[in-house]
């Protein structure tokens, strides 16, 4: 009998959704730990105590910044999700933009080292595949970045929401597998499991004191517990994936989703190149992961990225995010996550109409 908790229960059981544990349902924590261990061949293997479930990756990031960013310089990748900067500021840290890649798209370890030393950066944020550019790291690059973290005595929060949504045919990577003593991972059910409204995220760390004690207290003070209904929705999807992984198979649902998203990306790339846009991904290439595509403002438009976004919206073509939001001026972010074949065709016609209208008005 529970005589300690402030909730009404045992009155109409079919209508009740009760509080869950602050760090998530035990079965879900166990499933996430096994899924990540198997998906990324992690050593040491994760246990349930190494997982903290939270209200989306957003809460996970916010709480980790509260843990690690206060009075510290935090390196954010050039081309970053704007909530990183918000989280660092609210936690009392100082954001510094860092360049992971040189002008030719190579991982710039020397440049990163110089920036870390010069700016006294103690915490790096990594996000691969990257929102917004879709940039990836391969195995050798992950190992090299792990070496840099150790050399510079730097911690890393790795946002791996899109870790398995990569289109280069290579295995998915988690930085947790390369520097487990330096890296804390944040991920969520929003993208790979199509549950953004469920608000279920998770933090993974080999340091169970962080995930099972510190975050337990912070979540308890912040939101009391993550969404129980969302966790219940997610659990059978993870269990289905684990059935495939235990049998040595790629998860069927994830494989099919990745192929569909790659098809959408390819169609969008073809369309935008034909309409005069230039790609703005790593080394000027297309997105190799995520659900986003960055492009430069086309030459047939004389205004800024923000003005292009406003023009496209006013003409009923589409909504876009100007790259200034990510620290990438004069670029635009397209999301193909929700674009069907029919919608991509409509976008093609809409952009053609906008270009023709601008040509007539000039």
Residue 91 lies in a domain: yes
Together in a domain, 236 and 260: no
Residue 8: inside a domain, yes or no?
A: no
Phi, psi (deg, nearest 5) at residue 176 = -65, -25
Please tell me the distance from the alpha carbon of residue 39 to that of residue 46, in angstroms, as a whole number: 12
Query: Is residue 96 located within the same domain as residue 118?
Result: yes
Contact 336, 162 (CB under 8 A): no
The contacts of residue 260 (CB under 8 Å, 6+ apart) are none
Edge-to-edge strands, sheet with 292-296: 278-279, 292-296, 331-335, 321-322
* In a shared domain, residues 112 and 183: yes
Confidence of residue 216 (pLDDT cuts 50, 70, 90): very high
Asked whether the predicted pLDDT for residue 16 surpasses 90, the reply is: no
| Chain position carrying tokens 């398995």 | 164
pLDDT given for residue 24 in this prediction:
98
In a domain, 151, yes or no: yes
Number of domains in the chain: 2
Same domain, 237 and 256: no
The answer to whether position 257 is within a domain reads yes
Q: Give the pTM.
A: 0.95
Domain boundary among 225, 246, 267: 246
DSSP letter assigned to residue 8: -
pLDDT confidence tier of residue 11, bands split at 50, 70 and 90:
confident
Same domain (yes/no): 233, 282: no
Residues 283 and 319 in one domain: yes
Quickly state the pLDDT bin for 259 (edges 50, 70, 90). very high
Residues 6+ apart with CB under 8 A from 249: none
pLDDT tens, position by position, 29-62: 999 999 999 999 999 999 999 999 999 999 999 9
Are residues 195 and 95 part of one domain?
yes
How much is the pLDDT for 362? 73
Query: Same domain, yes or no, for 256 and 327?
Result: yes
Residue-wise pLDDT for 303-326, tens only, equals 999 999 999 999 999 999 999 999
Q: Please tell me the predicted confidence (pLDDT) of residue 159.
A: 98
pLDDT in tens, 137-196: 999 999 999 999 999 999 999 999 999 999 999 999 999 999 999 999 999 999 999 999
pLDDT at residue 4 above 90?
no
Q: Does a structural domain hold residue 340? A: yes
| pLDDT, position 7 | 87
pLDDT category at 360 given cuts 50, 70, 90 is confident
Residue 210 belongs to domain spanning: 15-246
CA-to-CA distance for 309 and 252, rounded, in angstroms? 37
| pLDDT (average), residues 76-85 | 95
Which of 11-20, 69-78, 257-266, 287-296 has the lowest average pLDDT? 11-20
Q: How confident is the model at residue 248 (pLDDT cuts 50, 70, 90)?
A: very high
Same domain, 216 and 314: no
């Amino acid at each position: 009998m529970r005589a300690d908790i402030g909730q009404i229960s045992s009155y109409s059981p079919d209508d009740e959704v009760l509080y869950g544990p602050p760090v998530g349902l035990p079965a879900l924590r166990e499933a996430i730990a096994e899924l990540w261990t198997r998906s990324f061949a992690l050593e040491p293997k994760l246990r349930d105590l190494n997982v903290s479930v939270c209200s989306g990756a957003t809460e996970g990031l916010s709480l980790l910044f509260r843990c690690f960013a206060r009075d510290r310089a935090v390196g954010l990748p050039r081309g970053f999700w704007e909530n990183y900067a918000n989280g660092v500021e609210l936690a009392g840290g100082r954001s510094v933009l860092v360049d992971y890649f040189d002008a030719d798209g190579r991982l710039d370890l020397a440049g990163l080292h110089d920036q870390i030393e010069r700016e006294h950066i103690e915490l790096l944020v990594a996000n691969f595949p990257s929102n917004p550019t879709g940039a990836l790291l391969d195995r050798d690059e992950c190992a090299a970045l792990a070496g840099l973290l150790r050399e510079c005595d730097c911690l890393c929060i790795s946002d791996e929401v899109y870790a398995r949504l990569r289109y280069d045919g290579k295995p998915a990577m988690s930085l947790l597998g390369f520097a487990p003593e330096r890296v804390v991972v944040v991920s969520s059910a929003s993208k790979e499991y199509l549950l953004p409204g469920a608000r279920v995220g998770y933090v993974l760390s080999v340091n169970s004191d962080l995930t099972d004690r510190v975050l337990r207290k912070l979540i308890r003070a912040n939101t009391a517990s993550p969404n129980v209904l969302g966790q219940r929705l997610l659990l059978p999807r993870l269990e289905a994936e684990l059935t495939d992984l235990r049998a040595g198979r790629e998860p069927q649902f994830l494989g099919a989703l990745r192929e569909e998203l790659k098809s959408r990306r390819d169609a969008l790339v073809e369309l935008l190149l034909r309409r005069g846009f230039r790609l703005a991904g790593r080394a000027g290439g297309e997105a190799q992961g995520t659900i986003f595509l960055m492009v430069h403002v086309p030459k047939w438009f004389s205004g800024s990225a923000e003005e292009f976004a406003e023009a496209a919206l006013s003409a009923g073509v589409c909504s876009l995010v100007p790259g200034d939001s990510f620290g990438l001026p004069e670029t635009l972010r397209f999301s193909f996550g929700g674009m069907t074949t029919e919608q991509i065709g409509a976008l093609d016609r809409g952009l053609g109409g906008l270009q023709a209208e601008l040509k007539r008005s000039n």
